[in-house]
Amino acid sequence: METYFLSIGELRAALAAGKLSAAQIITNTFERIASVEPHIHAYVKLLQESALAEAEQIDKEIKAGIIKPLSGIPIALKDILCTKGIETTCCSRILQNFVPPYDATVVTKLREAGAIFVGKTNMDEFAMGSSTETSLFGATRNPYDGERIPGGSSGGSAAAVAANECAAAIASDTGGSIRQPATLCGVVGLKPTYGRVSRYGLIAFASSMDQVGPITQNSADCATMLNVIAGYDRRDSTSVNIPVPDYTQFLGRDITGWKIGIPKEYFLDGIDAEIRRALNKTIEGLEANGAKCLEVSLPHTEYCIAVYYIIAPAEASSNLARYDGVKYGLRARNFGDLIDMYKKTRSYGFGAEVKRRIMLGTYVLSAGYYDAYYKKASQVRALIKRDFQEAFAICDVILAPTTPTCAFKIGEKIDDPMQMYLFDIFTLSANLAGIPGISVPCGYTEAGLPIGAQFLAGHFEEGKLLQIAAVHEQNAAFTKRRLRI
């Protein structure tokens, strides 16, 4: 039986009924990985031996009547989450061979829920990129077209789920890095509210925007994953101590009377015509289910890219200062004094994109420029957040495109940083405002490439996002296309 095509819900039902064993599921998953991974390169490390051993233990628990929320479910982890005893590199040379002595809180929660980790997934170096091309280990390929990107920085996680190399994956989103690759790979990706999921053990890029979230096949699986990973963590000073609802309870509820905001600033002339048509069909489907769509304005949207690429690099330059060759990670072999060691270690250890952002961030934080750049960007960030607060005062959720175009070809934008940055124009604002967002498939182009729609909601309203995503899935009149590789 080809178990790798089954969703988390289907796998749980089969395990509970005794129709499948965890060992069968994991064995089948690695057979699938062996078949497609040479074409996709979603993983940077596989954990077959430990996964099979854990599956045997899960089967013993199930026979004893112990069934946990994710018992026997094969899960992939983005290589930015610390895993005890397992190499965690952020796909950077400077962390090559780094083995953390502890698990990230999210990893611990998944283990306790019975999840089985099958591998660490490829990503842009230190999550800096939009295409998974800046990875030390090479690019990941889109399962729908091997010549195109899967998105980034969580391209490996999205590609693994889309290619059925795992049932779900955990990723991180600093400027759209869950939602954007989920869109390009035709799967569901949720960025929770900042503070909803613990960041302890997540290797930092931009601390005020990084957030951990799931990538899954459907909204029901997404709710199941969020139930496991959400919640307060005293080890994370940015974690918010408020109750966590059962997100699966939002599935199946209707949206009659809902007001859906359509931000005029997001529907620009540059959006691909096929994406616009798919979004129009999505709007028609939601209105047929009793929702009302109305135009809203987010007037400071035009400043999002400028604000993001001041604040994020500034925080990155501070966070990445710890990688100096002294405490852990790479250290240059031939050097003179301490300063020379710093220079050689960082020059060799970091890739071009990471260096670019460190230099930009250091510049905007330097004496004489802090007020002109970082302080001003922080003030505009407050205005962006206020735009969303005003919009959510008159609507329940916001519907917007996730990307301006579908997946572009590998190598097409890698030498043009500005074009690469512009690709995230519709996802950055949610991170700046700290609000949750979800990307859901809404169709395909004539060439067979996935198209996604993005829903945004107010702080800690992930339940609303899952509710409307489930309604959208029922409406969506399209069949999943066959993978090309």
Q: What is the pLDDT of residue 296?
A: 98
Rounded Cα distance between 386 and 147, Å, is 41
pLDDT, position 407: 98
Work out the percent of the chain whose per-residue pLDDT is above 90. Answer: 95
484 pLDDT more than 70? no
CA distances to 106, 108, 197 from 235, in Å: 12, 13, 12
Q: If you average pLDDT over residues 251-275, what whole number do you get? A: 95
Would the pLDDT of 451 be above 90? yes
The predicted pLDDT at position 327 comes to 87
135 is catalytic: no
Of 71, 147, 155, 148, residue with least CA distance to 121: 155
pLDDT at 268: 83
- Section 234-254 average pLDDT: 97
**Span 204-221, average pLDDT:** 98
pTM score: 0.97
Average pLDDT over residues 418-443: 96
> How remote is the C-alpha of 459 from its chain's centroid?
18
- What integer pLDDT is reported at residue 27 of this predicted model? 98
pLDDT score of 195: 98
Using the predicted structure, report yes or no on whether residue 270 has a pLDDT greater than 90. no
Question: Among 375-379, 459-463, 476-480, where is mean pLDDT lowest?
Answer: 476-480
Condensed to tens digits (0 to 9), the pLDDT of residues 37-84 reads 999 999 999 999 999 999 999 999 999 999 999 999 999 999 999 999
Among the options 21, 92, 135, 153, which is catalytic? Answer: 153
Work out the mean pLDDT of the chain and round it to a whole number.
96
92 is catalytic: no
pLDDT of residue 247: 98
pLDDT over 90 (residue 453): yes
pLDDT band for position 341 (50/70/90)?
very high
Active-site entry in 177, 219, 239, 317: 177
Q: What pLDDT score does 2 carry?
A: 83
Inform me whether the pLDDT recorded for 480 exceeds 90. no
* Rounded mean pLDDT, 161-172: 98
Q: Assess whether pLDDT exceeds 90 at residue 168.
A: yes
Q: Is 177 a catalytic residue?
A: yes
pLDDT grade, residue 269 (50/70/90)?
A: confident
Q: What is the pLDDT of residues 105-115, one digit of tens each?
A: 999 999 999 99
Does CATH place domain 3-250 in 3.90.1300.10? yes
Average pLDDT over residues 359-371: 94
* Residue of 78, 109, 120, 464 with catalytic role: 78
pLDDT exceeds cutoff 70 at 298:
yes
Strand 259-263 and strand 292-296: the pairing is parallel
Of the candidates 281, 225, 270, the one whose C-alpha atom is nearest the C-alpha of residue 451 is: 281
Tokens read off for 424: 């995230």
Q: Indicate the pLDDT class of residue 477, thresholds 50, 70 and 90.
A: low
Residue 59's pLDDT is: 98
Q: How confident is the model at residue 475 (pLDDT cuts 50, 70, 90)?
A: confident
Stretch 447-464: mean pLDDT, rounded? 97
